[in-house]
Amino acid sequence: MEILRKTLTWILILSLVVVMASSEFQRFSHNSQEEYLSYLQHYQLTVPVQVDENGDFLSYTVKHHRPGRRRRTTNPTSTTVGPEPTDHAEQDPAQTQVFYRLSAYGKHFHLNLTLNPHLVSKHFTVEYWGREGLEWRHDMVENCHYVGYLQDQYSSTRVALSNCKGLHGVITTEEEQYLIEPLKNISSATSSQWNQGEGQQHVIYKKSSIPSPQQQPNQHEFSCGISAPGSNSTLPGGGHRQRRSLSTERFVETLVVADKMMVGYHGRKDIEHYILSVMNIPNLEINHHADKSLDSFCKWQKSILSHQGDGNSIPENGMAHHDNAVLITR
């Protein structure tokens, strides 16, 4: 069996027309979460807490509060956008193992989480692109992405969560898959519903509560690249090559691109955390019928393949070597 691990190189496509004050991004994002919740068939509120291995209470704070790993920030190639560059390569390490407890849907969840050290490669970079090209690049990442399981249910459950700004991710059991995210500020008209005392409030809902998208006629699944060969390949002379099952660990270098709609929805302060939270979820499958966007993305992605470096360096166009590319849009 081959073990595939993702290593990420990703960029953020940011059109200059969506550059606005951070408060505007925040307001837009909050309203969007409230609107999204209105479409769910059902959801609940919960206040997770940090506990020890035995489930005993430690703290109401579930946010990542340590600097974690920070790499040196490169000089901007054009207009500087984002935090000030730092020259220290590494600070205090993040917690390698954490435990959380929360209750929802009549169940108690005791999460056993371990820091995911394989999420990003040592050549990881983040790039912001505008209409004129590359605007800013940095290689800083916070260690706040975890994988694990429910305590005493190692073989039957799976958890992938990020605690960058609260718990954000997926809890999978034998019966159901639950999605959890921090509750953002909502309108004052409904704010009285959300007061649950101490702790950071979160929204949790079942995957089955998400309405299925309307099926449109004449739509197909598309992807960039070539057709996958069958399990048996024909060799010269009429022979067949059988697939071998090897216990080999391999890495997949992934270019992740978020378009301006994603940046506008989540805001520039949260988009990086969100993308890494999504990529931290194992076996994530997203089906999205955006034919025109995907077609343009495929052409763009193929056009940069001939301009890449040797895999260990970033060429002039900023696109590091990658095995596959992912477009995240709305």
If you write DSSP's letter for every residue of 198-262 in order, what string do you get?
A: SS--EEEEEGGGSPPPPPPTT-----SS-PPPPSEEEPTTS-EEEPP---EEEEEEEEEEE-HHH
Q: Look-up: residue for tokens 């805001």? A: 267
Report d(CA 161, CA 113) in Å as an integer: 8
Bigger pLDDT: 305 vs 176: 176
Where does the chain have alpha helices with state H? Answer: 22-39, 260-266, 271-279, 291-303
Report d(CA 146, CA 129) in Å as an integer: 29
Over residues 251-283, the pLDDT tens digits come to 677 788 888 888 888 887 788 888 888 888 865
What distance lies between CA 107 and its chain's CA centroid?
26
Q: Where does residue 305 rank: exposed (0-12), middle (13-18), buried (19+ CB within 10 A)?
A: exposed
> Does residue 182 surpass a pLDDT of 50?
yes
What distance lies between CA 10 and its chain's CA centroid?
11
Over residues 130-177, the pLDDT tens digits come to 888 888 888 888 889 999 999 999 999 999 999 998 999 999 999 999
Least confident segment among 4-8, 90-94, 100-104: 4-8
Overall residue count recorded for the chain in this entry: 330
Residues 6+ away with beta carbon under 8 Å from 215: none
| Confidence band of 293 (pLDDT split at 50, 70, 90) | low
Q: Classify strands 158-162 and 145-150 as parallel, antiparallel or unpaired.
A: antiparallel
Task: State which of 150-159, 236-245, 294-303 shows the largest mean pLDDT.
Answer: 150-159
Which 3 state secondary structure label does DSSP give 64? Answer: coil
Q: For the whole prediction, is pTM greater than 0.95? A: no
> Does residue 119 surpass a pLDDT of 70?
yes
> Does residue 85 surpass a pLDDT of 70?
no
> Does residue 246 surpass a pLDDT of 60?
no
What is the spatial order of strands in the sheet that 107-115 belongs to? Answer: 44-46, 202-206, 177-182, 168-172, 158-162, 145-150, 107-115, 97-104, 49-51, 57-59
Bigger pLDDT: 198 vs 293: 198
Bigger pLDDT: 242 vs 150: 150
